[in-house]
Structures are given as structure tokens and as C-alpha cells.
Amino acid sequence: MNEFQLIDRYFKSIHLSDPSIILGIGDDAACVRVPPGHDLLISTDTLIADVHFSADWDPFDIAWKAVMVNLSDMAAMAALPRWMTLALTLPTLDSSWLERFSQGLQAALAQHKVHLIGGDTTRGTLSMTLTIHGICLTNQAITRSGAAVGDGIWVSGDLGGAAQALDWYRSNKQDFPLLKNKLHFPRPRLDLRTILQEFASAAIDISDGLAADIQHICESSQVGAILWEDHIPIHSLVCPSHPEKALAFALNGGDDYELCFTVANHHEYNLQNRLAEQGLSCYKIGEIEAQSGLRLRSTQGKVDNLPVKGYLHF
């Protein structure tokens, strides 16, 4: 099998027709039509073996996670994901690996009605770069820079589960299967899209850890923040007998892919109603302040600066 047969067999077959796609896989470039009155949002993620996933994972899971992580960036902007490209680098042409990988890719894309429209296939160390293209109504994308003093800080679900799973995986703990889903199958919070559009002043997805990601909102918005320790939702399986360690996982552990967003106080009542209507739970964990930097108010009411220790590649 050569490169073109590989593309035909494993990737072109995923391609579904859609009125928005003028040209999909097979030409020098894909061509899509953005509906009138919309902006195009574009985001790229690279996943490298032994950095973002382990090469011994099921290739289905690798593809699944790569797609979901990429979609999470659209969720954070309150955008609707539409088209994806995939640049795949493979050490060898292993058809059983590619079969599982393309199954995972197809299943993940189908779940969110996203179309694979192109990519590139090369030989080298196992890695993949996915680029998602999404749409939102003109000027309606939610950015990191809109948080204002007094806004509440909200998170969309419990935290620390993925970091705990990784910790168990690395130390070969038999508990790992209990949290495997948190690490391998993150759920991009696209279900919050309309709620964010209506109420959020800023948003980010929690990929590097809550503290580091709130810090990004604060820097972009030129504000600071205080978090309330006893309001931070921690996954129930995260170090239940060591509350301090559990808090550290929730604040600094990456890979949860929940959303953190800010909401002006006058929207809070309507936000709560809309969440209840849609059967969703989000948690208010703190407040935006004028003073720069991040602070944590402990359960005892003591306020301390919060050191930020998110994941950094360099």
C-alpha cells in the first residue's frame, strides 16, 4: 500500500458529503463555504507520542482523544465545529493500527457531525496535528479577554480526574480503570455553546490546569481573580483521604477539558435557570478582582496568593 492508497482506504472513506463542502479530500486544498453572517474560527493541536498520549494506547483512543481535545477549543469559544484537517506522522505503515485509528477518528467526528476535509501523511515519530474549523455568528465568539471586575468565575464540571488517572497510570495502580475515561475520553463541552453565548464574558477550556487557565483569562482581560477553596468541585475519586493533594490535582492537573468562564452577576439568576432547564450543572468558584494575580480563599477564610503550576512544554 502506498501513501495514496492509505489515504483512500483510511481517510477518504470517512469523508461524508455536506452542502458546505465544495471540495473535500483529494485536491490540493479543501474548499468550504462559510454561511453568510458567520465568522470562521480555526484552532490547531499537535499530539505527540509519549508527550500527549502513550504509543501503547489503543489507536482508537488516540484518535478519539485527539479529536475531542481539538473540539474543546471550539467549545471554549462557543463556536460550532464543522471541518477538520489531520496531519499524521507514522513510524511505519501498520494497517491494523491505521484501521483502529481511522475507526476512532470516524466515531469521534460523527458524534459531533464534523467533516474530515483534508490533511497530510508523512513518515516519522508518531504524532498528529489536527486543525478544527468552526463557525459562530459574526462577532459572537467568546474570548479570553472579556472578564470584568466583579464577574463570577464558573467551571462546568468536576476537576482533577484526568490528573489522578495519569498519576495512577504512571505508578501502575490497579485503580487506573476507574478513571481511565477521564484521561482517554474527555468530553468537549459543546453542550454549553448557547449558554456561553448568552451569558459568558470570557471563557477558556481547562487543558493545562484550572489555575494556569484562569491566569490566561486574567492576563488577557487585565484583571485578577480570587478562588474559593470550598467551592471548587473535585472529582470524588481524587485522593479522597488527602484533601490537600486533591485540591492540588484540581488546581494544577491538566487534561480535564471542562470549561472555565466568567459571568456578570446580573446574569446569574438567568444562567442558573437556563442550566437547570438543560439539565446541566456548573459551579461558581470565585470572582474576578481588579488586583492582578490569583488568590485562594481557604475553607477557614484565609486569603493567600496562589502559585500557578500548569503544564508547560518549555
Residues that bind ligand ADP (CB under 6 A): 7, 11, 25-28, 86, 88, 116, 118-121
Let me know: does 34 contact 135? Beta carbons within 8 Å.
yes
How many Cα atoms occupy the beta-carbon half-sphere of 109 within 13 Å? 25
Q: What is the DSSP string of 268-309?
A: HHHHHHHHHHTT---EEEEEEESSSEEEEE-TTS-EEE----
Residue 10 or 257: the one with the smaller Cβ distance to ligand ADP is 10
**Amino acid of residue 269:** Y
Q: Which residues contact 2 (CB under 8 A, 6 or more apart)?
A: none
Q: Which does 183 bind (CB under 5 to 8 A by kind): Mg ion, ligand ADP, none?
A: none
Residue 90 or 247: the one with the smaller Cβ distance to ligand ADP is 90
From CA 220, how far away is CA 188, in angstroms rounded?
A: 23
Let me know: does 15 contact 116? Beta carbons within 8 Å.
yes
At 134 the three-state DSSP class reads: strand
Residue span binding Mg ion (CB under 5 A) among the ranges 26-34, 192-200, 242-250, 268-276:
26-34
At 144 the three-state DSSP class reads: coil
Residue 25 or 226: the one with the smaller Cβ distance to ligand ADP is 25
Q: Which residue in the shown chain puts its C-beta closest to Mg ion?
A: 28
Measured from the CB of residue 92, what is the shortest distance to Mg ion in angstroms?
A: 24
Measured from the CB of residue 219, what is the shortest distance to ligand ADP in angstroms?
A: 35
Among 28, 56, 244, 277, binds Mg ion (CB under 5 A): 28
Measured from the CB of residue 30, what is the shortest distance to Mg ion in angstroms?
A: 12
- What φ, ψ does residue 120 adopt, rounded to 5°? -155, 145
Cα separation values, 173 from 169, 185, 252, Å: 6, 19, 21
Q: Which does 86 bind (CB under 5 to 8 A by kind): Mg ion, ligand ADP, none?
A: ligand ADP
Residue 7 or 223: the one with the smaller Cβ distance to ligand ADP is 7
Strand pairing category for 224-228 and 293-297: parallel
Residue 43 or 262: the one with the smaller Cβ distance to ligand ADP is 43
Element (H, E) at 138: none
The cell numbers describing 76, all together, are: 471554549
Q: Which does 11 bind (CB under 5 to 8 A by kind): Mg ion, ligand ADP, none?
A: ligand ADP
From CA 214, how far away is CA 233, in angstroms rounded?
A: 15
Measured from the CB of residue 10, what is the shortest distance to ligand ADP in angstroms?
A: 8
Measured from the CB of residue 27, what is the shortest distance to Mg ion in angstroms?
A: 8
Q: Which does 143 bind (CB under 5 to 8 A by kind): Mg ion, ligand ADP, none?
A: none
Measured from the CB of residue 118, what is the shortest distance to ligand ADP in angstroms?
A: 3
Measured from the CB of residue 26, what is the shortest distance to ligand ADP in angstroms?
A: 5
Residue 4 or 311: the one with the smaller Cβ distance to Mg ion is 4
At 45 the three-state DSSP class reads: strand
Residue span binding Mg ion (CB under 5 A) among the ranges 4-12, 27-35, 207-215, 298-306:
27-35
Residue 28 or 56: the one with the smaller Cβ distance to Mg ion is 28
Site for Mg ion, rule CB under 5 A: 28
